[in-house]
Amino acid sequence: MNRFPHIDRRELLRAGAAFAGWCALPAGALASPILGDDRHSLLILQLEGGNDGLDTVIPYGDDAYHAARPTLARAREDVLALDDYRGLHPELTRLRDEYEAGRLAIVEGVGYPDPIRSHFRSMDVWHAADRRGRQLPEGWVGRLCAARFADRTDPELVVHVGNEVPYSLHSATHPPTSFVRSRSYRWAGDSREVRAYEEAAPAPQAERSTEAAGDGTDPLDLVRRALADGQASSDAIRRATAAYETPVAYPAGPFGEALREVAGIANGDVGSRIFSVTLSGFDTHTDEDQRRRSLLRVLDEGLGAFLEDQRRTAVGRELVVMAFSEFGRRLVENGARGTDHGTAAPMLVAGAAVQGGLYGEHPSLTELEDQELRFTVDFRSVYATLVADWFGADAKRVLGAEYPRLPLV
C-alpha cells in the first residue's frame, strides 16, 4: 500500500524545510571522508543500568567492603588482583591482560556533584555533560563535532550501533547514523516516493522566497541531497562491514556483533570517527552475583576481542574505547542479594594509544556522604582529556567549563 497517496510539491517543501534543519548535507559530502592524516577515533561504550563499581574494581583488601556485603563480597582468591587492595572481577580476564600490558586505564571514583540516582536523569547528565541534561539542545558529542569537525558534513562521522540513539550524540549539525545491523541499514523509501522527489518541478521564484528555508536554499534540493546522501551512506557502511575480514573471533550475540560492525566501519575508510554501543543489564537489584558473572563475561569477551582486533591495524591503533555507566551501586547490599542505585564508580579507557594504569582515587568505604560513596573524579575530566588531548578540540567550549585533565592518552 502506498503510504503517501497525496504527495504534492507544497507538502514536500514544508517537509523539506523541517528535514533540512537536522540532516541537510551539501552535495558531494561523501567524497572526502578523512581530513588529513588525523585518524584518532573513539568508541563510547555505555554500560546501561548502573554498573556496580565495587564489583568491577573490587576493594578486596578493605574490611569495610566485606562487612557491607556479607553475601556478595569476593575473597582474595576470587578476584584478579591488581595490587594488595583491589582487583578486577573474575570474569574480566581479557581486560586484566589489557591492564597488565599497559593498554587499560582505570579511573576510580568517577561521578559528579549532588548525584542523581534516577537512571534516566543521571544518564542525561552524562550525555549532556551538564546537570541540565536534555534542556541543552545538543549532547556533548554533538558539541565536540561542532568544535572539531565543523567542515565535516558526511553522515558517517558519528555512528551508533544499536536501537536507541544516546542523547550524547544529538546534534544540530552532525546527526549520527544509527542502525542495529549494517546489512539491514538502507534508505527505506519505495519507488513511488523516489519518483515523487525526482519529478517534483523547481518552484517558481516567488514561491521559493516564501517557502524556502530562510537562507536562500531550496528545501526540495536539501531533501534530494539528504536522500542521495542517505542512500550513499547506507551503501558505504554495508560495503565496509561486508568486506571486513579479521582473524579475530568475535563472540556470538548482539554485543559481539555490534563491536564487529564498529570494527568493519572503523577500518573501512568511510570516515567515521566516533562510535557508540550500549550493553544493557547492569541494574542488579537481585541475584547480583550470577547476573554479573554472565554479564561481565559478555563484556570481557566482546571488548577483549575488539581491542585485540584493533591492534592489528594502523586505524585500529588510533581508536580509543571509553566505557561508563550512569552511576554505581550502593556500598551495602540489599536483602535480595543485590545492590541498589548508588553513586561513584570506575570508568574504563582502553586502546593501543592509552597510557594504562590506575587514575584518580578509590572512594573511601568509611567516609561516606548520605551513606553513599563520595566521588573523587568528575566524569567531565575524562571527557575533557579526550576532547582536548585526543581530538585536539577546545574542551571548555565543548564542556562549558574547565576540568582537570588526566594523562590517559
The domains of the chain are located at 41-192+228-399
Instruction: Locate 328 and state its grid cell.
Output: 554505581
Give the CA count within 13 Å in the CB-facing half-sphere of 305.
21
Residue with cell 577483549: 304
Instruction: Give whole-number Cα distances, 192 to 2, 188, 226, in Å.
Output: 8, 12, 17
Q: What was the pLDDT predicted at 363? A: 96
Using the Cα atoms of residue 218, residue 223, residue 224 and residue 226 in order, give the sign of their dihedral. positive
Residues in the chain: 409
How many CB atoms within 10 Å of residue 97? 16
Tens of pLDDT along the chain (409 residues) come to: 333 333 333 333 333 333 333 333 333 333 333 333 478 999 999 999 999 999 999 999 999 999 999 999 999 999 999 999 999 999 999 999 999 999 999 999 999 999 999 999 999 999 999 999 999 999 999 999 999 999 998 889 999 999 899 999 999 999 999 888 765 554 444 455 445 545 544 444 434 334 444 444 555 554 444 444 544 556 788 888 888 999 999 999 999 999 999 999 999 989 999 999 999 999 999 999 999 999 999 999 999 999 999 999 999 999 999 999 999 999 999 999 999 999 999 999 999 999 999 999 999 999 999 889 999 999 999 999 999 999 999 999 999 999 999 999 9
Q: Are 120 and 329 in contact (CB under 8 A)?
A: no
CB-based contact 25:154 (threshold 8 Å): yes
Q: Which three cell numbers mark 97?
A: 591482560
- CB-based contact 22:175 (threshold 8 Å): yes
Listing from the earlier edge strand, what are the strands of the sheet with 87-88?
A: 57-58, 87-88, 80-81
Which numeric CATH code is attached to 41-192+228-399?
3.40.720
Distance, in Å, from the CA atom of 319 to the CA atom of 183, rounded to the nearest integer, reads 23
- Per-residue burial over 138-156, b if 16 or more Cβ lie within 10 Å, else e, is bbbbbbbbbbbbeebbbbb
Q: What are phi and psi of 87, to 5 degrees?
A: -155, 165
| Separation between Cα atoms, residue 250 and residue 44, nearest integer Å | 18
Burial class of residue 389 (count of CB atoms within 10 Å of its CB; 0-12, 13-18, 19+): middle
Helices of type H across 149-203: 191-199
Closest to 401 (Cα-Cα) out of 386, 389, 388, 384: 384
